[in-house]
Amino acid sequence: MPEILFREALKRGLQEALENDPRVFMMGEDIGEYGGAYAVTDGFLEKFGPERIKDTPISEQAFVGAGIGAAAAGLRPIVEFMSISFSLVAFDQIVNMAANLRYMSGGQINVPMVIRAPTGAGVQLGATHSQSFETWLAEVPGIKVVCPSNPYDALGLIRSAIKDDNPVIVAEPALLYGDKGNVPDEYYEIELGKADVSRSGTDITLVSYGYGMRPVNSAADSLEERGHSVETIDLRSLNPLDIETVLTSIQKTNRVVLVDSARRTGGVMAEVAAELQQRASEWLDGPIMRVGSIDVPWPYNRGLEREVLTDAGDVLAAAAEGYGM
Amino acid sequence: MASSTKSNAKSRSQSSKPSRNGDSAPLLNKDLPSTVDHLDLFKMMYLIRQFEIACGENYSKGLIRGFLHLYIGQEATGVGAVSGLREDDYIVSHYRDHGHALARGMDVNRVMAELFGRATGTSKGKGGSMHLFDVAKRFMGGHAIVAGQLPLAAGLALAQQYQKTDALTMCFFGDGSTNQGVYHETLNLAAIWKLPLLFFLENNMYGMGSSIERVRAGGIDFYPGIATYGIPALEVDGMDVLAVKEATDVAVGKIRNGEGPQFIEAKTFRFVGHSLADGQKYRGQEEVKEWEGRDPVLTFPAKLIEMGVVTDKEIARIKTEVDETVAKSVDFAEQSPEPDLSQIYNDVMV
Ligand SMILES: Cc1ncc(C[n+]2csc(CCOP(=O)(O)OP(=O)(O)O)c2C)c(N)n1
Ligand SMILES: [Mg+2]
């Protein structure tokens, strides 16, 4: 299988959609002339023209709202935020409009829109540019939220997101744009709302998503070196959340560490933990262990930021504390 | 009132200048486009008035709950504006939406049922007064976050432009909504993209209890400042249904002609409180009385009778007919079933 970058996988998915469906168009700040803040849309303007690759003013509320209106009128807009931190100024449109329109119209209006946004810390952008608001959005009924952890998933999820008739947020971990991974030439999609058992094992289950899979994978390697058999689960989708796959795994391993790379408090794993304590207690040999980034504004300094961000050491410490592994 | 229509354009060409001047009513002469049916305009204004009165009564009875914002006093604005649209145009409104919805021809029974929260309502009872929708009529809400509907309307207009139609989107909003940042964002976006969007400001002088003077630097006129966005703007007497229709026709014509977004400011007034929970402590009854003297539901038919366009009898016949329609809508709503509890889970996602 050919290896491609995470950003190239996204680009491939977007390009296919633009080529195959005339209703698909893109909007965002500097996605055209500039080529996209993370170069995902580089070359699109030349290929598809300014009607379909629309550079917007720095008006997140207006262009997200315009995306919603265009979707309600039958188009399939793909809207890009430069950072998910900037989504805050458009939360009204995402939550009050995109998520609620179908329900409050009694099913009359659909919003088949994709919102893409770089997310997460790790590149020293400081407090206002490093947050992970997919965790906030994942609570809202009426929108789907996905977050890929590798190029294969990035392509499979973006394809499904664009085809979905609901608003879908695709949170793209900024630290992963340059990651390489195997992506087949044959067409495939990844169903939204299904977690992936990315490694099978019998002794402990490590659960995460997005950037969090990096510390999870490296912790899994270390645990296996010490003779433990590790199962890893990549949630892929935060809403709908696939708890069943996690439950099935715990019935086999009887041990679990939940890993957020977003801030610990109120993270997605808080919700997973709450479900597990209700539904998996009888299977567990110890406490539900939960790891997340430290609950402070993101610091700029490299050493401080690394300390705040979840790493493999945090995951291993949790496995040791909870299960003596 | 010296002139019922003003413009922000530096020099107005004769062709784009609405013909109505002074107190004479040139629109009632033979130049009238034959599509203007005065009786229809009256009938719709009267329907909205009676519908709103019935809403108020049923709110007092506890049959309608939540926030209820009545359109009483503003009928000429909504009816004049909507009468200038085609079936394939979109309309977007805010929470004071009953008038716009009815003017668009939404089913009176089903709108009333929605206010009653019944299964037969336009949103199956899940939207309520502030969230009316009828996609078949291209009535795209009913939006209750102040100014939140503006970018949605821009998106509908964007789709119309993208699909290369000559249809347009009309977006209603209040004076209060102009203090939201997204109002500015949307004016700018519509202007740079030349969207087929008609910004329709219903300036009723108050946002809840806040008079414009207290919350806006720059006074009570909005239309002159719109030139900053490069968008042509007209001011119109919102108590005069024909003037509103005429201004709308001008703006609509320009949009269909590919001239990009247009802006209309209608000066109007709600005769009643902001919602049924409003004691109106913030304004004197004199001001209300003064505006009530220009009540379009009274002055318009009086003018028509005076000019010999219709007779007393015809007006009376219309009133009887409308009163029946409204009474029936209340019966329909009351007799409609509550939504089944299973509806909770429907319509969240496709
Ligand atoms: C974002 C937001 N803030 C506050 C409110 C509460 N609110 C509802 S209507 C209103 C006044 C709006 O006035 P205006 O835009 O002039 O419209 P009008 O009610 O006069 O028709 C306010 C403050 C709201 N719905 N949304
Ligand atoms: Mg107002």
Please compute the mean of the pLDDT values over residues A224-228 and round it to a whole number.
98
| pLDDT at residue B36 in the model | 64
Query: Which ligand 1 atom is the nearest neighbour of the CA of B175?
Result: 16
Q: CA torsion, points A245, A249, A250, A252, in degrees to nearest 10?
A: 150
Nearest Cβ partner of B127 from A63, A68, A105?
A105
Backbone angles phi, psi at A169, to 5 degrees: -95, 125
Convert chain A into a string of H (helix), E (strand) and C (coil): CCEEEHHHHHHHHHHHHHHHCCCEEEEECCCCCCCCCCCCCCCHHHHHCCCCEEECCCCHHHHHHHHHHHHHCCCEEEEECCCHHHHHHHHHHHHHHHHCHHHHCCCCCCCCCEEEEEECCCCCCCHHHCCCCHHHHCCCCCCEEECCCCHHHHHHHHHHHHHCCCCEEEEEEHHHCCCEEECCCCCCCCCCCCCEEEECCCCEEEEECHHHHHHHHHHHHHHHHCCCCEEEEECCEEECCCHHHHHHHHHHHCCEEEEEEEECCCCHHHHHHHHHHHHCHHHCCCCCEEEEECCCCCCCCHHHHHHHCCCHHHHHHHHHHHHCC
Q: How far is A227 from chain B (nearest CA, A)?
A: 45
CA distance linking residue A226 with residue A174, whole number of Å: 32
Question: Comparing C-alpha atoms, which of B67, B124, B73, B130 is closest to residue B101?
Answer: B130
* Longest alpha-carbon distance in chain B: 60
**The complex's ipTM?**
0.92
Domains of chain A: 3-182 (3.40.50.970), 196-323 (3.40.50.920)
How do A24-28 and A76-80 pair as beta strands? parallel
Q: Helices A60-72 and B181-192: crossing angle, nearest 10°? A: 70
Cβ-based contacts under 8 A for chains A and B: 144
Q: Is A16 a catalytic residue?
A: no
The reported pLDDT for the residue numbered B9 is: 67
What is the Cα–Cα distance from B324 to B76, expressed in whole angstroms?
22
- CB spacing of B347 vs A165 below 8 angstroms: no
Is the pLDDT reported for residue A233 higher than 90?
yes
Residues of chain A contacting B, Cβ within 8 Å? 25, 51, 54, 56-57, 59, 61-75, 77, 92-93, 96-97, 101-110, 112, 141-142, 144, 164-166
A223's tokens: 């645990």
Structure tokens at A26: 């893109």
Percent of chain A whose predicted confidence (pLDDT) is above 70: 100
Q: Tally the C-alpha atoms within 13 A of residue B57's C-alpha that lie toward its C-beta.
A: 10
Residues of A in contact with B133 (CB under 8 A): 104-106, 108-109
Q: Which residue has the tokens 């413009």?
A: B7
Which CATH number does the domain B37-333 belong to among 3.30.300.90, 3.40.50.1820, 3.40.50.970, 3.40.50.11540?
Answer: 3.40.50.970
The pLDDT, as a whole number, for residue A1 is 81
Pairing, β B197-203 against β B206-207 = unpaired
Q: Which residue has the tokens 């015809």?
A: B314
pLDDT for position B7 = 78
Gyration radius of chain B's alpha carbons: 20
Q: What is the pLDDT along chain B (350 residues), one digit of tens a residue?
A: 334 567 776 543 333 333 333 333 334 443 444 446 999 999 999 999 999 999 999 999 999 999 999 999 999 999 999 999 999 999 999 999 999 999 999 999 999 999 999 999 999 999 999 999 999 999 999 999 999 999 999 999 999 999 999 999 999 999 999 999 999 999 999 999 999 999 999 999 999 999 999 999 999 999 999 999 999 999 999 999 999 999 999 999 999 999 999 999 999 999 999 998 898 999 999 999 999 999 999 999 999 999 998 999 999 999 999 999 999 999 999 999 999 999 999 999 99
Q: Going by DSSP bridges, is the β-strand pair A180-182/A3-5 parallel, antiparallel, or unpaired?
A: antiparallel
Q: Does residue A139 register a pLDDT over 50? A: yes
Q: Which atom of ligand 1 is nearest to the CA of B203?
A: 16
Tell me the two tokens of residue B194: 């030349």
Ligand 1 midpoint to CA A33 (Å)? 38
CB A246 within 8 A of CB A276: yes
User: Over chain A, what is the mean pLDDT?
Assistant: 97
Cβ within 8 Å, pair A56-B346 = no
CA–CA–CA angle A217, A218, A219 (5° rounding): 90
Residues of B in contact with A107 (CB under 8 A): 124, 346-347
Q: Do B347 and A66 touch (CB under 8 A)?
A: no
Q: Which residue in the set B122, B154, B192 is minimally distant from A69, CB to CB? A: B154
Q: Is the pLDDT of residue A100 over 70?
A: yes
B178 CA: nearest ligand 1 atom: 15
Amino acid A95 reads V
Query: To probe the interface with A, which of B91, B158, B164 has the most A CB atoms within 10 Å?
Result: B158
Contact A69 B185 (CB under 8 A): no
Q: Which of A8, A29, A80, A129 is catalytic?
A: A129
How high is the pLDDT of residue B277?
A: 86
For residue B185, the chain A residues in CB contact (below 8 A) are 57, 59, 61-62
Determine the pLDDT at residue B6: 78
* 3-state SS, one letter per residue, for chain B: CCCCEEECCCCCCCCCCCCCCCCCCHHHCCCCCCCCCHHHHHHHHHHHHHHHHHHHHHHHCCCCCCCCCCCCCCHHHHHHHHCCCCCCCEEEEECCCHHHHHHCCCCHHHHHHHHCCCCCCCCCCCCCCCCCCEHHHCEEEEECCCCCHHHHHHHHHHHHHHCCCCCCEEEEEEHHHHHCHHHHHHHHHHHHCCCCEEEEEEECCEECCEEHHHHCCCCCCCHHHHHHHCCCEEEEECCCHHHHHHHHHHHHHHHHCCCCCEEEEEECCCCCCCCCCCCCCCCCHHHHHHHHCCCHHHHHHHHHHHCCCCCHHHHHHHHHHHHHHHHHHHHHHHHCCCCCHHHHHCCCCC
Q: To the nearest whole angstrom, how far is the Cα of B168 from the nearest Cα of chain A?
A: 12
Task: Give the per-residue pLDDT at B26.
Answer: 39
Pocket of ligand 1 (CB under 6 A): B 96, 144-146, 174-177, 204, 206-208, 274
| CA distances (Å), origin B244, targets B76, B101, B161, B221, B266 | 7, 17, 25, 17, 7
How far does residue B152's CA lie from ligand 1's centre (Å)?
Answer: 17
Q: Give the phi and the psi of residue B267 in degrees, each rounded to 5.
A: -85, 120
Compute the distance between CA of residue A244 and CA of residue A193 in angstroms, rounded to an integer: 11
Atom of ligand 1 at shortest range from CA of A92: 1
